[in-house]
Amino acid sequence: MQRILPFKEEHRLFKDAFAKFVAGKLVPHYQEWEDQGIVPREVFTGMGDYGFLCPWAEEKYGGVGADFLYSVIVAEELAGQGVRGVFSWLHSDIVAPYIDSFGTEEQKARWLPGCVSGEKILAVAMTEPGAGSDLAAMRTRAVRDGEDYVINGSKTFISNGILADLVIVAAKTDPTSGPKGVSLFVVERGTPGFGRGRRIEKVGLHAQDTAELFFEDCRVPAANLLGGEGKGFQCLMKKLQQERLMVSLVAQASAERCLKLTIDYVKDRKIFGKPLAAFQNTQFTLAEVASEIQVGRSFLDTLVLRHMEGADVVKEVSMAKYWVCEMESRAASRCLQLFGGYGYCKEYEISRLWTDARVQTIYAGTSEVMKLIISRGLEL
């Protein structure tokens, strides 16, 4: 598909190297990780060894100061080869940027090298049992006590929740101040009072470990406060644009994979004495899916360019998060239909693409929440 993004020779070399890594080191083991409900830690350190984690980080922290196109390549390649449950893109392009943007020099020097090498796996914990879309309703509390903060509360649905070594936790430091009373803390593996619950059994995205986290009198040094007391909500809002762009990029690449697998299948499958591809219904269905995919691609590439220019495209990215993720679900479902009964069998990857797609309209802000944001800009 024609791209408008300014990929240069170095991007192409990086893409080739990463594509080989994914095909050789991830794809052959992916079903095993789906069955186990988690990927091994070595996936992260392996990616770190080759420079595939946080390539944007400054050299002094182990990165190469790469532009955002490298992050686009990683996310698209993982989804494009059907191993999207490897949440390195969450680690590199959603969570680590909090440390990079809001951390002090001391915090960056302490944590970023481990993020780049993969020795420190990251997660971000905002959602609570009673606070999902309505984040301001969070009840997790952090109370200052001398040189520490004491955190009490719980989080749920946390991606990389079992693997994570550093979790950025949102907690209320001043429950009377609404969003201005929220702060972010980096909670490290092994901190007394920090516990992990069960790995949550999901309908899809099995290789991605999703967990509940508990904080019981969890004492975190004040040096682990990120971005300043009461600044948590502001920090979260500043990073939503990239977070939702990343989710949309994964959705887009996954929709493209659905189409590719289905085109291969319908050419091969014969019914009523001819290939399934020869039926007009098949052709029209795939023409519609392909058209939606092309629209998504054009829109997303434009947003990637605007994001790289530093533009505020929160509203447009919300449109992409809403539309591209819904489009992915539609594409996965329609493509699965063309596989007939085989599409409903685990042996066929399209079944996984369909179940994996379902969550895309829910996490990182539901489609309904995206519509709220978009409609706010319509001056209704």
Active site residues per annotation: 243
Determine if 375 is a binding residue for ligand FAD (CB under 6 A): no
Q: Are 215 and 148 in contact (CB under 8 A)?
A: no
Q: How far is the CB of 321 from ligand FAD (least distance, A)?
A: 12
With contacts defined by CB under 6 A, name the span among 124-132, 211-219, 223-231, 274-282 that binds ligand FAD: 124-132
- Of 10 and 368, the one with the shorter C-beta distance to ligand FAD is 368
By CB under 6 A, name the one of 25, 202, 330, 358 that touches ligand FAD.
Answer: 202
Whether the CB-CB separation of 112 and 96 falls below 8 Å is answered with yes
Residue 150 backbone dihedrals phi, psi, to 5 degrees: -110, 120
Scanning 153-161, 176-184, 220-228, 344-352 for contacts with ligand FAD by CB under 6 A, the matching segment is 153-161
- Rounded distance, CA 21 to CA 292, Å? 30
Secondary structure letter of residue 194 according to DSSP: E
Q: How many helices (H) and strands (E) does the chain have?
A: 12, 10
Distance (Å, whole) CA 121 – CA 160: 8
| Residues between 334 and 363 that touch ligand FAD (CB under 6 A) | 359, 362-363
Binding of residue 366 to ligand FAD (CB under 6 A):
yes
Of 52, 70, 157, 322, the one binding ligand FAD by CB under 6 A: 157
Cβ closer to ligand FAD: 337 or 366? 366
Q: What does the alpha-carbon distance between residue 270 and residue 253 come to, in Å, rounded to a whole number?
A: 28
226 interacts with ligand FAD by CB under 6 A = no
Binding characters for ligand FAD, 16-35, by CB under 6 A (x = yes): --------------------
Rg (CA), the chain: 21
Is position 329 an interface residue for ligand FAD (rule: CB under 6 A)? no
If binding is defined by CB under 6 A, does position 283 make contact with ligand FAD? Answer: no
Contact between 210 and ligand FAD per CB under 6 A:
yes
Count the residues of the shown chain that bind ligand FAD, applying the rule CB under 6 A.
22
Beta carbon of residue 313, minimum distance to ligand FAD (angstroms, whole number)? 21
Answer for which of 39, 213, 258, 369 binds ligand FAD (CB under 6 A) is 369
Query: d(Cα 55, Cα 64) in Å, to the nearest integer?
Result: 6
Using CB under 6 A as the binding rule, whether residue 211 contacts ligand FAD is answered as no
Q: What CA–CA distance (Å, rounded) separates 300 from 100?
A: 25
Pick from 22, 99, 125, 207: which binds ligand FAD (CB under 6 A)?
125
Can residue 39 be called a binding residue for ligand FAD (CB under 6 A)?
no
Kindly tell me which residue out of 80, 132, 232, 296 binds ligand FAD, with binding defined by CB under 6 A: 132
Looking at 73-81, 142-150, 151-159, 315-323, which segment touches ligand FAD (CB under 6 A)? 151-159
CA distances to 22, 45, 77, 362 from 19, rounded to whole Å, are: 5, 17, 6, 28
Cα-based distances in Å from 102 to 121, 130, 236: 18, 27, 10
> Is 241 within 8 Å of 317 (Cβ atoms)?
yes
Scanning 120-128, 138-146, 245-253, 290-298 for contacts with ligand FAD by CB under 6 A, the matching segment is: 120-128
Secondary structure class of 42 (helix, strand, coil)? helix
| 141 near ligand FAD, judged by CB under 6 A | no
The answer for residues whose C-beta is within 8 angstroms of residue 17's C-beta and 6 or more apart is 50
CA distance 249 to 236: 20
Distance, in Å, from the CA atom of 163 to the CA atom of 95, rounded to the nearest integer, reads 14
Among 8, 10, 27, 133, binds ligand FAD (CB under 6 A): 133
Q: CB of 131 within 8 A of CB of 139?
A: yes
Q: Do the Cβ atoms of 307 and 241 come closer than 8 Å?
A: yes
64 touching ligand FAD, by CB under 6 A? no
CA angle 208, 213, 214 (to 5 degrees): 170
Q: Please say which residue, 128 or 301, places its beta carbon nearer to ligand FAD.
A: 128
Q: What residue number has its CB nearest to ligand FAD?
A: 132
Q: Contact residues for ligand FAD (CB under 6 A)?
A: 123-127, 132-133, 157-159, 202, 205, 210, 359, 362-366, 368-369, 372
